[in-house]
Amino acid sequence: MEATEIAALLRAQNENALTETAARYGGMCLRLAQNILGSREDAEEVVNDVLMQLWQAAPNDAPQNLEAYLVTVTRRNALKYLEKRQAFKRGGNAAAVTDELDQLLCAKENVESEYDARTLQNAVRQFLLTLPDEQQTMFIQRYWYFCTSREIAKNLGLKESKVRVTLMRLREKLKTTLQKEGLL
Report, as an integer, the average pLDDT of 148-155: 93
Of 163, 143, 134, the closest CA to residue 151 belongs to: 163
Question: ∠43-107-36 over CA atoms, to 5°?
Answer: 10
The per-residue pLDDT for 143 is 87
pLDDT in tens, 7-50: 888 888 888 999 999 999 999 999 999 988 888 999 999 999 99
Instruction: Give me the percent of the chain exceeding a pLDDT of 70.
Output: 81
Residue ranges of domains in the chain: 3-88, 91-180
Same topology between domain 3-88 and domain 91-180:
no
The per-residue pLDDT for 107 is 46
Task: Give Cα separations from 26 to 62, 94, 111, 170 (angstroms).
Answer: 18, 20, 34, 31
Domain 91-180 has CATH 3.40.50.300: no
Contacts of 6 (CB under 8 A, 6+ apart): 17, 20, 21, 24, 66
The per-residue pLDDT for 112 is 47
Fold of 3-88: Rna Polymerase Sigma Factor; Chain: A (1.10.1740)
CA distance 107 to 138: 21
The model's confidence at residue 169, banded by pLDDT at 50, 70 and 90, is: very high
CA distance 110 to 155: 34
pLDDT in tens, 68-99: 889 989 998 998 888 776 544 555 555 556 55
**φ/ψ bin of 14: left (φ > 0), alpha (ψ from -120 to 50), beta (otherwise):** beta
Contact 167, 142 (CB under 8 A): yes
| Average pLDDT score over the chain | 83
